[in-house]
Amino acid sequence: MSLHAPIEQDSASFEGMFGTSSQMREVYALTRQVAGSSATVLLTGETGTGKELIARAVHRLSHRASGPFIRVNCGALAESLLESELFGHVKGAFTSANENRTGRFEAAHGGTIFLDEINSVSHQLQVKLLRILQEHEFERVGDTKTIQVDCRIVAATNRDLLDEIDEGRFREDLYYRLNVIPIDLPPLRERSDDVPELSRHFAKIYASQNRRPVPAIDDEAYSYLKSYAWPGNVRELQNYIERAIVLGDGNRITVDLLPPHVRGVAPARRKRPQGSELEDLCRDFVAQRIEEVGHDGALHDAVVSYVEKELIANVLRSCHGVQTKAATKLGINRNTLHKKIDEYQLDETG
């Protein structure tokens, strides 16, 4: 589901996005400025901040607006499938290639291709992407015929690509090719003044979808919504307004219709410990075990198991449950990772 369902434009919206904070006005102005060019755009920001909406705005405001807009979620496909998805393949290129297939780059000819989660692309595919950016050409999988393509590339990531470069996961030359025009989407917690406007916008949408009158939102509810940290950004706010519409009587959105953690009566969603948090937890765990069993041989094993469990859970979460990717990050094979998941009774998504 899109962050913002398409509705009639008004003075408060920009290409389907809502928010009049200074941060968002800067984003809108930069988007308008670069849309008319042919420059490659790199969108950065946390999950749920509206990167795809800006990508679509870049396309709609450009001279390519009459051409196709093709979206590819690079993190949703295995490497072998992603290569075929992007570049196409010829019949017989691999076992299940029963016919020729046009790739997304060919399909985007004359328009815009949006590469979401660009940080998840393998080194091999990064080389092919670099060639397209430089030469505007490629070959289908299993073919030797070179295909010329004319499409604008807009890429997006919720990771710091400079950190990915430092870790050896992303090519520096590709980064500089992509980072011609960077546009950073601010998290919702840094533009809390936009929360009331966004809330009213979503209330109109979900009231209509559920055949109910548009509810008023109590000031006290607004106060809690504005003070909440929004780890899931605009998408999380959208979900909670829909929840309030469904659970309410249709006349007002009151505080009791907000989730408990938004109201501060329950802890916010649990995050996997990182850095000093994990160190503190380990220190507390060691102290607890010493009190229980003393300095015996079992203490070392218990601490190692505890740290290993937290590390695996954290990496699984960062890899969105993709075990092959998590195993690579951990430096173990996938079978070993699967055994550890069973041993520690972890959820497979971390």
> Is the Cα torsion angle 44, 50, 56, 59 positive or negative in sign?
negative
DSSP 3-state helix, strand, coil percentages of the chain (rounded to 5)? 50, 10, 35
Q: What does the alpha-carbon distance between residue 113 and residue 153 come to, in Å, rounded to a whole number? A: 5
Per-residue pLDDT at 71: 96
Say if residues 227 and 263 touch (Cβ distance below 8 Å).
Answer: no
Helix (H) / strand (E) containing 225? helix 219-227
Say if residues 231 and 196 touch (Cβ distance below 8 Å).
Answer: no
CATH 3.30.470.20 for the 189-263 domain, yes or no: no
DSSP 98-140: -S-B--HHHHTTTSEEEEETGGGS-HHHHHHHHHHHHHSEEE-
The phi, psi pair for 295, rounded to 5°, reads -85, 70
Question: Whole-prediction pTM value?
Answer: 0.71
And the tokens for 66?
Answer: 């009459």
In tens, the pLDDT along 218-244 reads 999 999 999 999 999 999 999 999 999
Instruction: Return the closest-CA partner of residue 37 out of 155, 136, 181, 177.
Output: 181
The CATH architecture one would assign to domain 276-343 is Orthogonal Bundle (1.10)
Tokens 């073919």 locate to: 143
CA distances to 5, 112, 139, 152, 242 from 65, rounded to whole Å, are 20, 8, 26, 11, 32
Dihedral angle of Cα 259, 260, 262, 268, to the nearest 10 degrees: -110
Alpha carbon 9 to its chain's center: 26
CATH 3.30.450.20 for the 22-185 domain, yes or no: no
Over its length of 350 residues, how does the chain's per-residue pLDDT go in tens digits? 334 333 333 445 688 888 899 999 999 999 999 999 999 999 999 999 999 999 999 999 999 999 999 999 999 888 778 988 899 877 766 666 668 888 899 999 999 999 999 999 999 899 999 999 999 998 888 888 899 999 999 999 999 999 999 989 999 999 999 999 999 999 999 999 999 999 999 999 999 999 999 999 999 999 999 999 999 999 999 999 999 999 998 789 999 999 998 988 766 554 444 444 555 555 565 566 555 555 555 666 666 677 778 888 888 887 777 777 777 777 677 777 878 888 888 876 65
Per-residue pLDDT at 277: 53
Domain boundaries, the chain: 22-185, 189-263, 276-343
Angle among Cα 49, 350, 81 to the nearest 5 degrees reads 70
